[in-house]
Amino acid sequence: MLKKYDKRVELVGHQSNPFPYMRNADYLVLLSDRETSGMVITEAKIIGTPCIVSNFEAAYEQISDGENGFIIDKNNIEEFRNRLPKVIQLKKKMKENLKNFKYSKEDILKRWEEIF
- The Cα 108–Cα 10 span in angstroms is 34
In tens, the pLDDT along 73-112 reads 988 888 888 888 888 899 999 999 999 888 888 887 887 7
- The Cα 87–Cα 83 span in angstroms is 6
Q: Which helix (H) or strand (E) holds 70?
A: strand 69-72
In tens, the pLDDT along 59-72 reads 998 999 999 999 99
Query: Containing domain of residue 41, as a range?
Result: 3-115
The domain that holds 75 is classified in CATH as: 3.40.50.2000
Q: Count of domains in the chain?
A: 1
Q: What's the confidence (pLDDT) of residue 7? A: 65
- The Cα 25–Cα 27 span in angstroms is 5
Q: Which helix (H) or strand (E) holds 62?
A: helix 59-62
On the question of pLDDT at 43 being above 70, the answer is yes
